[in-house]
Structure 1
């Protein structure tokens, strides 16, 4: 019996042959898809990645968009909401709505980094969704990887941080949803290095963690561009054609891409300080949302 036991133990450490196929189990490590080993250079996204904590994903329990503050708040106090700030930063050949002191973008040309395609943006009920504003680190993903522990003000900052925001092709943004790098990367391979470097920078900035799969996916991308630098935050542009800096402007704030063109100037509700108003708020009525963005009295 002793002999039989020792024989079985010795056989257990040999490669397992699958008879009839000649196959052996896959090797672990690089052959199984682990990120290749590269020399880490100072000041690069790869170096920053090394400092990110690796943990499992926390439950999504308690997540709601409102945990990150009102959509597209004017956090830099330049008089323009964040969505319009990012459109103005990322689009060219811009036109603005009259009377908004160059805040509300009505049209422009957009070279989408996610797909590599060029989009002619026109603001409207049925056209605004062509260009959306993506949270590079999705807010739901952030919530499950440390943002639950942040203060409400810090989460608001994260949701409006130019480092974490990019204008993007609407369908591509929808396909990404709240995915991390382990399950979604831009189809434009030429942009992947910058994309994952931004994700890494955002998570480092706000003390968020990554799952092992996410970390490995980012490391694999950056192995192909080991000198990719840590991104610098793109400051939003203060745009005032007239009036004093900090003067409030009707920026047409919106959640997501729906930011149509119903109305010019602030509504009486907004002027009275009772807006924006959202579904579920006291006195809500769908007629308040003439631009179809889910937020009433914003245009």
Structure 2
């Protein structure tokens, strides 16, 4: 966590529409959401010519559930768009925010999870939300730190405290970061 600056955050000016997401960057007919679902499927779904997915099963690490059918899943921005905005993305260009919202280069950035778990998380950081499944919490926290560091985002004081406390109960884990941009 040494690479993360601690400072107050501001939601001023945030609108989800400032992060163009679920684009089809590689022009293969599948948007980012579908690409994540295809990559994370436990049992592969069938994709038609328009990349509509049928069948398949997925594992939701947040709540330790297996789900069948893509409609039961959300693709979560591990660090939510609003939290990224609060933490520095407000100064980014539209292109930088689009790249963040559709990051397929680091598999920790986007994760397929149950819609219920994602909606309970909403735009919260680890000071107000931790995955209900205890077996995933250490991974969640280390991925959070890696994602925030990858994008040179800040953490606020309560988030910092929550990360320190949460990671203290995790075994020593190396956090490897691939910087974006």
2:38 is aligned with 1:88: yes
1:226 CA displacement: 4.1
Superposed CA RMSD:
1.8
Query: TM-score with structure 1 length normalisation?
Result: 0.55
Structure-2 residue corresponding to 1:112: 60
Among candidates 167, 171, 183, match of residue 112 of structure 2: 167
2:2 is aligned with 1:50: yes
Secondary structure of 1:54's counterpart equals coil
Structure-2 residue corresponding to 1:62: 13
Task: Count how many residue pairs are aligned between Structure 1 and Structure 2.
Answer: 175
Secondary structure of 2:117's counterpart equals helix
2:19 is aligned with 1:74: no
The runs of 5 or more residues in structure 2 that have no matched partner are none
Residue-by-residue CA offset, 1:25-47 (whole Å, 9 max, x unaligned): xxxxxxxxxxxxxxxxxxxxxxx
- Matches of 1:217 and 1:77, distance apart in 2: 40
Closer/same/farther in 2, CA of residues 99 and 113 from structure 1, 3 Å limit: same
Residue-by-residue CA offset, 1:127-166 (whole Å, 9 max, x unaligned): x1x2111111010111111100112111111111133100
Q: Answer yes or no: is the 8 Å Cα contact 1:194–1:228 preserved in 2.
A: no
- Matches of 1:221 and 1:231, distance apart in 2: 18
Secondary structure of 1:179's counterpart equals coil
> Within 5 A, what are the aligned runs for 1:76-155?
76-100=26-50, 103-121=51-69, 123=70, 128=71, 130-155=72-97
1:95 CA displacement: 2.4
List, as ranges, runs of 4+ consecutive aligned residues in structure 1 with deviation greater than 4 Å: none
1:178 CA displacement: 0.3
Query: TM-score with structure 2 length normalisation?
Result: 0.88
Among candidates 146, 153, 156, match of residue 208 of structure 1: 153
Closer/same/farther in 2, CA of residues 134 and 104 from structure 1, 3 Å limit: same
Structure-2 residue corresponding to 1:36: none
The runs of 5 or more residues in structure 1 that have no matched partner are 1-48, 234-299
Which entry has the higher C-alpha Rg, 1 or 2?
Answer: 1
Q: Answer yes or no: is the 8 Å Cα contact 1:86–1:167 preserved in 2.
A: yes
- Matches of 2:40 and 2:176, distance apart in 1: 16
